[in-house]
Structure 1
Amino acid sequence: MPSSRLCVVVTRRLPEVVETRLKELFDVELRDPDTKMTREELAAALGRADVLVPCVTDQIDAGLLAQAGERLKLIANYGAGVDHIDVETARRRGILVSNTPGVVTEDTADMTMALLLAVTRRIPEGLAEMQAGNWGGWAPMAHLGGRIGGRRLGILGMGRIGQAVARRARVFGMQIHYHNRRRLRPETEADLDATWWESLDQMIARMDMISVNCPHTPSTFHLINARRIKLMKPTAVIVNTSRGEVIDENALTRGLRAGDIAGAGLDVFEHGHEINPRLRQAPNVVLLPHMGSATVEGRIEMGEKVIINIKTFADGHRPPDQVLPGML
């Protein structure tokens, strides 16, 4: 007798506790070994699954969705960002899309502060010197960085993560400024002690530090471009823990090499894991391998949200974290 349980295909390995619970509830295909699926493997998965559980490394475009089988009714994304999924095409084909919002807010905000400190205090340079055994002892003028207290932080994108960054930065004594497509409510602004700038250009020109915390959409692609990098102070630092496509990476590399800005901290990149070699060689850049949400707690909570979305769908209800095209 055929199984009445949903066929769920997971594209990458997840925490053991999450995989165990998935196996208890559904007919699950887990990814082993933990490698990125090829386009052909994704197409095959879309063809046989009732539910696909992808992540940010899986590009699910209209071409792939055209190969989806009649069984596929839900793409339960493991992660908050869905710019790698053609949500509109999925909707037209009767496929729901869900995500895991809010789970990684605090973790990503922590990493933003870590990058701000790492760049301004030159932590990687000191670490490399110690690991190479080249430290000759303390000196008054060695390893001089900058103090972040009292500096102006401009937050680009004041959603959950942007606000979490603002709360942390205030504790460090920073002045909070932000640019957002919608101004925050007065009480929220007051709580964060944040100043809104309608003009991104004007804000960027006056900030000591910029934190990119907005999603990648057609309107935010290369929002930080060569012209805006030229507007920044030569002493300014920019960090990005959101989406790499928001920054024109070639323009940033040229600006760093030319001394147009003082430094950058990047956890995400315009072309995924393919990093501009000139960016890797820049001494005033801190690069991390997309670690912003990489905590045990966060990964488990993401999995729990995926399970709730699938279980709710299986019970005949709308997934609580369904993503609609109008939300993007």
Structure 2
Amino acid sequence: REGHSLHEIIDGDEPLRPIIDFDLLVEALNAITPKLSSGQAKNLLCRAFRDTCLEIFPEWDKETMSIAESSDEKKISLHVLTFGMRLPNIAKVSAFTELVRKKLPAGLQKKGIIDNIANIGSFKSFSLRILGTPKYDKKTDKHVRIKKVIRPKDGSIFDFMIRPPNDDSRVIDSPLLVVPESEVNRCSKENNDTSSETTQADFDFVESLLGENGIEGYTLSFPSDNIPDLFPLTRNSPSHCPICDREHESDNGYILRNKKTYRFYCYCANHEREPGTRNPSVKLTISETALQREQKLPSPTKLDRSKISDPND
């Protein structure tokens, strides 16, 4: 609706369109050397996106590239995607984003300019503002920077969505879309000797941990079957991130459970970490009240014998 921020919520690991979320403060643009105009920065991004699409799918039609803008005098903000193909999952979109980033000049590769909203991992969920709607500024309680069409001028709203209904575009995979092993896979391997089925009591306990530790601005979800120890956190309002020590407006997070330990992770911090280091996290501490609730949770029960029936029975 006009005057309200509407978002497309992406959850689950079905095929989706590659998307680049580009945010560049004019102040940061002016500090880049050699100098770039705003038009040059936009063109470089779109060319990098085009070239990456052609690398992974030589038959890709460049006329299927969609560009939406919500810039103002202080910030260049673009969403670039294509309705001419889809990628198999969110992790592949993350790898696609990194291919685009590497094609940009060094000054445009800096942290925070291209927001890898997909990140690495099939568990990711995120949202994207719908075309024609403004961004809500919590500080001023105003709606600003309406998302407008750049191309195609005659496109429908579905051409600017990541996972629109009834999308039959071709799903493309490529050996160029390399997905590194995630932090979650490492943690899941450590926990493979216990039952990780999540009950409503588990969910309520994790929700209480968020409140106890001042983690706000997220909607908590149940873990997926394939990653049973990861609780997705989908951003629903701006809030302060204890890892990045700044306010986030769109970055999501997650909680990892390792036996009786719970840690909070931020996707933005994961992306900005130094190469070769682990994803930064915050251990969620338990107050006495929360601890009492946690102690009431059922403990995993190990079987005394193999699940295979005794042939002598």
More helix by share: 1
TM-score normalised by the shorter chain: which range applies? under 0.3
More strand by share: 2
TM (normalized to structure 2)?
0.26
